[in-house]
A and B are shown apart, each in its own frame.
Chain A
Amino acid sequence: MPSLPMVANLPKGPHYGALAEFATPHELYVACEKVRDAGYTRWDAHTPFPVHGLDRAMGMRRSPMPFIVLGMALIGAAGGFALQYWVHSIEYPLTISGKPTFAWPAYVPITFELGILFGALGAVFGMFGLNQLPMHWHPLFNSSPFEKVTDDRFFISIESWDPKFDAERTRQFLQGLGSRRVELVASE
């Protein structure tokens, strides 16, 4: 799975890449299939909302998020149970209303809650990690039409360090896909 390098590590060059604008999810979807089939690997689509099926049109693999969340949730639940066991059986064994010190059924609610808490933290911060967010500056923000990406425009960006990238040919290729506007985005 190609992932974007950190901004500081972006390869240096005059251009970040080529950016093509599309008007509708349909046009974008068809274009993505063609970019995928043309063999580009370091490229991305940008949309104001998640477009159904675009992952497949881009040839992306599944997200590893579920494993991160499952792992974190298990850590949280195990830690929660261990905390309660340690407090009542080792550190501070105190009989209250005749309950046994190791009263495992009574530990279920907090074990569950801490599993959920860690799973949720794993989901949010795992997503930030995989997406390398926060990244408050990015070369694509140099493009002013790109401001509409959070409103109603759809974009494909092909990065200049893609092995198949060639400023002129890639631009023509994108225009041939029905893009209304293709620009080369400066890297600084």
Chain B
Amino acid sequence: MPPSDAVALDNPVDRRPELILRSPTFAAITDAVAEPLEKPTPIGWWFFFLPAVGLLGLLGVAVSWLFWEGIGIWGLNVPVGWAWDITNFVFWVGIGHAGTLISAILFLLRQRWRTSINRAAEAMTIFAVMCALLFPGIHVGRVWVAYWMFPLPNQMGTWPNFRSPLLWDVFAVSVYGTVSALFWYVGLIPDLATMRDRSKTTVRRLVYGLFALGWRGSNRHWQHYESAYLLLAAMSTPLVLSVHSIVSMDFAVSQLPGWHTTIFPPYFVAGAIFSGFAMVITLMVICRTAFKLEHIITLRHFDYMAKVILLTGSMVGYAYGMEFFTAWYSGNPYEMFTFTNRALGPYAWAYWTMVSCNVFFPQVFWFRKARTSIPILFVMSILVNIGMWFERFVIIVTSLHRGFLPSSWGYFTPTIWDVSCLLGSFGLFFTMFCLFVRFVPMVATAEVKTVLPQADPHHVPKGAHAGFGAGQAEA
């Protein structure tokens, strides 16, 4: 009897609940994931893809105009020299972190439920890092000398300053992007081989075959493969924690009240995981419905992800409170002013948007009904991402706009080009994600098969061990 969603959620006591519902065979998993890639493009896909490409075009226009005219086209002014550019950068890097958490940290912790969502979450990471890398690249003003950020010999005979967190950031984010892409590709190889072996056309066979590298499922290969995968997970785990810590040091190492605080590294990492899980939920709600993967990406997965959101959201809320405590306890008038100004000053609207979306609303996830309700999850995931975008905006802009010298206080208002760059980065992200779900298996089929009961070599399907997992034998 195939367990329903409700049974699987409510019955963890008498046996370990099955992660994949409806007790599918191995072949059924392959079919469920591969068939959407083999059918003609569904109409619905175009409803996502075309607007995304439109926004990507907007990004192209905005970035071209930026290169031509300079960063004066944004709303930057003298006290506020960083605004949406760096807000978007930190926002997108943070989104990426949930993918690595799922693929690496949950792998090391043997959380086997991750197998249903890790492929898509890792893809999300790579596309989010692409969006993130865009902003530091274009915000430098003279992009044609952006290579001065790298330790390359240049025409001035100068070298970058390795003692600056901004340079650490260049290395951290580019290493993160590279390692995430490698990790993702290694995970993909067996599934690309599956696609190769199923192909009906020569073109598909050649293209999937090219990237599958001639994988033939050899156990002598699996041994090195699994070892490499484990090691990549073990290295990605400290990497992901280091990346957002270093991003936070872009601020924390400066002397500005509102930035100069030691709580930033753990607070940024928690916030990154918080926003990233929200984005995973947004994407998975759409994908599981669109590709009919409800039995692979189950309500249990959403239940777990909502718990992670509740936990990390509470950590972020704690950090918000602790920032105020530290400001008061420091006795430093500049520090105290910055935080009073943050909550009650001209940007109070942004501050309270952030607190509502990140701390107040996620409390609904104390209730299982909310954690397993697709509409609530979807709305909450979007609210959390709005809140986390505002968090970076609040940290950056409210700290800058009223500094030590009241005569140079100011106010940042975005221009149409700020908005275009932000919307355009979403265009880039969703264009890439649409192409991903159309051409690449979006669930790690080889890994999902390993969590089925019949994948255990000691699982005897017929006769002797009737009971657990009985009747799941293949033909």
A residues lining the B interface (CB < 8 Å):
3-4, 23-26, 28-29, 44-55, 57-58, 60, 63, 65-66, 69, 73, 83-84, 87-88, 91-92, 94, 96, 99, 103, 106-107, 109-110, 112-114, 116-117, 119-121, 123-124, 126-128, 130-131, 133-138, 140-141, 146-152, 155
Q: Complex formed: what's the CA distance from A21 to B250 in Å?
A: 58
Contacts of B249 in A (CB 8 A): 109
Q: List 15 A-B contacts (CB under 8 A).
A: A4-B218, A25-B456, A50-B219, A87-B159, A92-B159, A110-B167, A124-B186, A131-B221, A131-B225, A133-B214, A134-B214, A136-B214, A137-B214, A149-B217, A152-B26
Cβ of B242 under 8 Å from chain A: yes
Cβ of B370 under 8 Å from chain A: no
Contacts of B159 in A (CB 8 A): 87-88, 91-92
Cβ contact within 8 Å between B454 and A25: yes
Contacts of B218 in A (CB 8 A): 4, 44-46, 131
A42 CB → nearest B CB, Å: 11
Report the count of interface residues on B (CB-CB < 8 A).
72
Contacts of A53 in B (CB 8 A): 457
Contacts of A151 in B (CB 8 A): 26-27, 30, 194, 197-198
A162 CB → nearest B CB, Å: 14
Cβ of B246 under 8 Å from chain A: yes
Q: Complex formed: what's the CA distance from A48 to B474 in Å?
A: 15
Most chain B CB within a 10 A radius of its CB, from A24, A119, A146 = A24
B427 CB → nearest A CB, Å: 29
Q: Complex formed: what's the CA distance from A123 to B455 in Å?
A: 26
With A123-B232, A150-B197 as contacts: A48 and B216 at CB distance below 8 Å:
no
Interface of A is mostly: helix
B residues lining the A interface (CB < 8 Å):
25-27, 30, 151, 157-165, 167-168, 171-172, 175, 178-179, 182-183, 185-186, 190, 193-194, 196-198, 209-210, 213-228, 231-232, 235-236, 238-239, 242, 246, 249, 446-447, 449-450, 454-461, 473-474
**Cβ contact of A116, chosen from B27, B179, B193, cutoff 8 A:** B179
Q: Complex formed: what's the CA distance from A69 to B186 in Å?
A: 15
Q: Complex formed: what's the CA distance from A79 to B238 in Å?
A: 19
With A117-B179, A136-B213 as contacts: A127 and B186 at CB distance below 8 Å:
yes
Cβ contact within 8 Å between A109 and B168: yes
A83 CB → nearest B CB, Å: 6
Contacts of A94 in B (CB 8 A): 161
- List the 8 shortest-distance A-B pairs measured between CB atoms, nearest first: A152-B26, A29-B457, A134-B213, A65-B227, A127-B228, A150-B194, A106-B163, A45-B219
